[in-house]
Structure 1
Amino acid sequence: MTRKVCVTTGSRAEYGHMQWLIRDIADDPDLELQIMLTGMHLEERFGNTYKEVEADGFAIDARVPMGETDDSPEGIAAAMGRGVAGMAKALMDLQPDILVILGDRFEMLAAASAAMVTQTPIAHLHGGEATEGLIDEAIRHSITKMAHLHFAAAKPYAQRIIQLGEDPARVFTVGTPGLDAIFRRDLMDKAELENSLGFDLGDHFFMLTYHPVTLSVVDPAQAMNKLFGALDTFPDHKVIITGVNADAGNDRIREAIAAYSDANPNRVLNKTSLGHHRYLSALTLADAVIGNSSSGIAEAPTAGTPTVNLGDRQLRRLSADSIIHCAEQIDDIRAAIKRALDPGFLETAFINEPPYGRGGASTIIKDLLKKADLSNILMKRFHNIPVPT
Structure 2
Amino acid sequence: MKRRICAVTGSRADYGLLAWTLREMLADPALELQLAVTGTHLSPDFGNTVRQIEADGIPIATRIDMQLTDDSGCAIGQALGRAVSGFAEALQQLQPDLLLVLGDRYEILAAAQAAMLQRIPIAHIHGGESTEGLIDEAVRHAVTKMAHIHCVAAEAYARRVMQMGEQPHTVHVVGAAGFDALTHTPLLDRASLEQAIDFPLGEKNFLLTLHPETLSPSDAAQQVTPLLEALQAFPEARVIITGSNADPAGRAISTLLQQHAVAHPAQFCYHESLGQARYLSLLAQVDLVIGNSSSGIIEAPAMGRAVVNIGERQRRRLRAPAIIDCASETAAIRAAIAQALTPEHQQRAAEKHTPYGKPGAAQRIVRLLRDTPLDGILQKTFFDLPMASLPAGEAT
Q: How would you bin the TM-score normalised by the shorter chain?
A: over 0.9
The residue aligned with 1:63 is: 63
1:262-321 superposed Cα distances (whole Å, 9 cap, x missing partner): 111122111011001111111121110000000000000110101000001112100000
Tell me how far 1:187 sits from its aligned partner.
Answer: 1.1
1:82-130 superposed Cα distances (whole Å, 9 cap, x missing partner): 0000011101111111111000011111111111111111100000001
2:95 aligned partner, one-letter code: Q
Residue 116 in structure 1 maps to residue 124 in structure 2 = no
Q: Which runs of 5+ in 1 are unaligned?
A: none
The residue aligned with 1:148 is: 148
The residue aligned with 1:131 is: 131
Given that 2:40 and 2:246 are in contact with CA atoms closer than 8 Å, whether structure 1 keeps it comes out as yes
The residue aligned with 1:202 is: 202
Tell me how far 1:351 sits from its aligned partner.
Answer: 3.8
Tell me how far 1:352 sits from its aligned partner.
Answer: 6.8
Where 2:187 maps in the other structure, the secondary structure is: coil
Tell me how far 1:192 sits from its aligned partner.
Answer: 1.3
Residue 296 in structure 1 maps to residue 311 in structure 2 = no
Residue 165 in structure 1 maps to residue 143 in structure 2 = no
2:387 aligned partner, one-letter code: V
The residue aligned with 1:213 is: 213
Where 2:116 maps in the other structure, the secondary structure is: helix
2:184 aligned partner, one-letter code: R
Given that 1:302 and 1:358 are in contact with CA atoms closer than 8 Å, whether structure 2 keeps it comes out as no
Given that 2:301 and 2:352 are in contact with CA atoms closer than 8 Å, whether structure 1 keeps it comes out as no
In structure 1, C-alpha distance between the alignment counterparts of 2:122 and 2:185, rounded to whole Å = 29
Where 1:215 maps in the other structure, the secondary structure is: coil
Residue 46 in structure 1 maps to residue 34 in structure 2 = no
The residue aligned with 1:360 is: 360
- TM-aligned CA distance change 1:18 to 1:352, over 3 Å: closer
1:184-240 superposed Cα distances (whole Å, 9 cap, x missing partner): 122112111111112111222100000011010012212201100111111111111
1:29-88 superposed Cα distances (whole Å, 9 cap, x missing partner): 111111000110000100111110000001110000001111111101000000000011
The residue aligned with 2:184 is: 184
Map 1:1-389 → 2, pairs under 5 A: 1-351=1-351, 353-389=353-389
1:317-359 superposed Cα distances (whole Å, 9 cap, x missing partner): 0000000000111111011111111002222344473111231
Given that 2:305 and 2:349 are in contact with CA atoms closer than 8 Å, whether structure 1 keeps it comes out as no
- TM-aligned CA distance change 1:42 to 1:377, over 3 Å: same
Given that 1:306 and 1:340 are in contact with CA atoms closer than 8 Å, whether structure 2 keeps it comes out as yes
Given that 2:5 and 2:96 are in contact with CA atoms closer than 8 Å, whether structure 1 keeps it comes out as yes
Q: CA RMSD in A?
A: 1.0
1:297 aligned partner, one-letter code: I
In structure 1, C-alpha distance between the alignment counterparts of 2:251 and 2:369, rounded to whole Å = 38
In structure 1, C-alpha distance between the alignment counterparts of 2:316 and 2:350, rounded to whole Å = 20
In structure 2, C-alpha distance between the alignment counterparts of 1:72 and 1:315, rounded to whole Å = 23
In structure 2, C-alpha distance between the alignment counterparts of 1:105 and 1:303, rounded to whole Å = 25
In structure 2, C-alpha distance between the alignment counterparts of 1:370 and 1:178, rounded to whole Å = 20
Given that 1:230 and 1:334 are in contact with CA atoms closer than 8 Å, whether structure 2 keeps it comes out as yes
Deviates more, 1:378-387 or 1:145-154: 378-387
Where 1:177 maps in the other structure, the secondary structure is: coil
In structure 2, C-alpha distance between the alignment counterparts of 1:242 and 1:154, rounded to whole Å = 28
Given that 2:321 and 2:353 are in contact with CA atoms closer than 8 Å, whether structure 1 keeps it comes out as no
In structure 1, C-alpha distance between the alignment counterparts of 2:275 and 2:286, rounded to whole Å = 16
Where 1:314 maps in the other structure, the secondary structure is: coil
Instruction: Give the alignment's TM-score, normalised by structure 2.
Output: 0.96
1:276 aligned partner, one-letter code: Q
In structure 2, C-alpha distance between the alignment counterparts of 1:260 and 1:231, rounded to whole Å = 12
Q: Which runs of 5+ in 2 are unaligned?
A: 390-396
- TM-aligned CA distance change 1:44 to 1:233, over 3 Å: same
1:47 aligned partner, one-letter code: G
1:245 aligned partner, one-letter code: N
Given that 1:321 and 1:350 are in contact with CA atoms closer than 8 Å, whether structure 2 keeps it comes out as no
Instruction: Give the alignment's TM-score, normalised by structure 1.
Output: 0.98
Deviates more, 1:80-89 or 1:198-207: 198-207
Given that 1:180 and 1:362 are in contact with CA atoms closer than 8 Å, whether structure 2 keeps it comes out as yes
- TM-aligned CA distance change 1:105 to 1:156, over 3 Å: same
Where 2:178 maps in the other structure, the secondary structure is: helix
1:336 aligned partner, one-letter code: A
Given that 2:241 and 2:270 are in contact with CA atoms closer than 8 Å, whether structure 1 keeps it comes out as yes
- TM-aligned CA distance change 1:11 to 1:145, over 3 Å: same
